[in-house]
Amino acid sequence: MKRLLHQGILRSTLLVLGALIAFGCAKSADDLYKDGLVELEKGNIEIARQRLEAALEQDPDLMSAYRHLARIYGLQNETDKLIQTLERWVEKQPFESTPRRQLAALYLQKSRFEEALKIYEDLAASAVNEQEKEAYQKWVGMLQRAQERQVEIKQLEAQLGQEPDNPGLNRELGALYFRVGQNFVVTGQKEPGKQLLQRSHTLLEQAKNLLETQIAEEREVASARIELASVYFELGQHALLPADAEQAIGLFEKAIAYRPDQPKYYFVLSQLHGNRKEYPQAIAAVKKAIRLDPETALYYEALSRYSLKAEDQKECEAALRQADQVSPNSGNYLFNLAVLYEKWGRDRSDTMQLLEKALEKEPENAQYRFSLAGFLGQEKRYKESLAELREVLRVGAGTRWESLAQQMIEKTETLMQSESE
């Protein structure tokens, strides 16, 4: 009996000693963190992850561990864990911009626009300089528009769930996804943008297949052709993103074949030909847009640009004058023609007359006045030139035109004085 009692006491003592030894040998959060960094340096990602997770479990305020653990989750494509880690990091350090920017990008990938918007609003409010603030505010504006579109997207997705074979819903939803995805790509968020664009392309292809079947079966052919033209136009814009101009041209031509009364189709087609230096085709396409819509200055401006490249001065000038006629409040087209007159070696008085007419439309335009002052100076009409330059000082205050005008005033006054001596 005494022997059994002695063995029990010995076993208990050994267990207590083992526990004490184990407790004494347990690694601290700092030691685990350091071990994790060593393993990370060696490339042992999984072991590093275990050490860093254990370190944070012991000490949730070990801020540097969040940064390295976030990096590991990113490498392992564990997006949910990465979001959770960044959220904990932001909770601990709410004014640290790095985790907030990373978290906003991940929210965008998950289409959590409202949460991303809140972060960018906070970043804009706490920006340290104007340039940074402006960049964040651009994101705020883009996300506000995306948020508005998301409401519409959710409604259309719900309708599409009820009517999956509705070509109109597929087309409309595909176009919406394209607009949002394109905004993301343009502003640098390529991954979430790509996902939205893929969804857009899938929906548009589905709409195309449904509409082609409808036309083949001769069901509501007229409306189906109009809808199919819009689908091809949207798909053409998709082709522009990877800069596949040849494919885009083919798709826009199909859009025109189904709906030849849309001026914007011809205009976009003209831009593609112009970018490829196919100026005769560009001119032919934009002229068709003009015939359908003779009141849009943008089309005439494009025609002037293509004609200039094709070295057709007469067509170029005529197009700019037409653009001016349909733009009663803009002197820009006359100013552009004045620049070309100077380049073409036309009479200086004709060039100055164009600038004066441009100023009649926009009397507060500093650039027009500065150009006119320069020509007046070349004609040695110094007093008139100085009068225009002083007007530039007034209307161009705070811009580069103010400093340029001041420099020219000094030169003109010096020239006047030297010629009078």
What CATH number does residue 362 fall under? 1.25.40.10
Q: Which of 76, 31, 71, 74 is nearest to 54 (CA)?
A: 31
Residue 190 belongs to some domain of the structure: no
H/E segment holding residue 149: helix 130-162
136 falls in which pLDDT band (50, 70, 90)? confident
pLDDT at 417 over 90: no
Is residue 143 a contact partner of residue 105, using CB atoms and an 8 Å limit? no
107 falls in which pLDDT band (50, 70, 90)? confident
> How high is the pLDDT of residue 421?
66
Average pLDDT over residues 300-327: 96
Give the C-alpha separation, 22 to 182, whole Å.
Answer: 58
List of residues 6+ apart from 146 with CB closer than 8 A: 113, 180, 183, 184
> How high is the pLDDT of residue 26?
64
pLDDT at 239 over 70: yes
Give the C-alpha separation, 110 to 306, whole Å.
Answer: 44
Residue 240 belongs to some domain of the structure: no
pLDDT at 10 over 70: no
188 falls in which pLDDT band (50, 70, 90)? low
Give the C-alpha separation, 369 to 401, whole Å.
Answer: 10
Average pLDDT over residues 207-214: 95
Is 57 exposed, middle or buried, given 0-12, 13-18 or 19+ CB atoms closer than 10 A? exposed
Q: For 49-77, what is each residue's pLDDT tens digit?
A: 999 999 999 999 988 899 999 999 989 98
Which three-class secondary structure state does DSSP give residue 204?
helix
Which residue did the predictor score with more confidence, 2 or 122? 122
Residue 391 belongs to some domain of the structure: yes
* Unique residue bearing structure tokens 């030894």: 21
Residue 405 belongs to some domain of the structure: yes
Q: For 326-368, what is each residue's pLDDT tens digit?
A: 998 999 999 999 999 999 999 999 999 999 999 999 999 999 9
Query: What's 111's DSSP letter?
Result: T
Query: What's 28's DSSP letter?
Result: P
187 falls in which pLDDT band (50, 70, 90)? low
Q: Count of alpha carbons within 13 Å of 175, Cβ hemisphere only?
A: 17
Average pLDDT over residues 119-143: 83
Residue 150 belongs to some domain of the structure: no
> How high is the pLDDT of residue 16?
40
Give the C-alpha separation, 207 to 160, whole Å.
Answer: 12
Q: Tell me the CA end-to-end span of the chain in Å, nearest whole number.
A: 134
Give the C-alpha separation, 417 to 421, whole Å.
Answer: 6
pLDDT at 14 over 60: no
Is residue 52 a contact partner of residue 32, using CB atoms and an 8 Å limit? yes
Give the C-alpha separation, 189 to 306, whole Å.
Answer: 34
Average pLDDT over residues 128-137: 82
Q: Count of alpha carbons within 13 Å of 257, Cβ hemisphere only?
A: 9
Q: Which two tokens stand for residue 148?
A: 């508005």
Host domain of residue 406: 346-421
pLDDT at 270 over 60: yes
CB atoms within 10 A of CB 415: 14
Q: Which two tokens stand for residue 317?
A: 């000038």
Is residue 33 a contact partner of residue 62, using CB atoms and an 8 Å limit? yes
Residue 49 belongs to some domain of the structure: no
> How high is the pLDDT of residue 38?
92
Residue 361 belongs to some domain of the structure: yes
Average pLDDT, the chain: 88
Helices (H) and strands (E) in the chain, counts: 21, 0
Q: Which two tokens stand for residue 116?
A: 């991303």
Residue 282 belongs to some domain of the structure: no
Domain count across the chain: 1
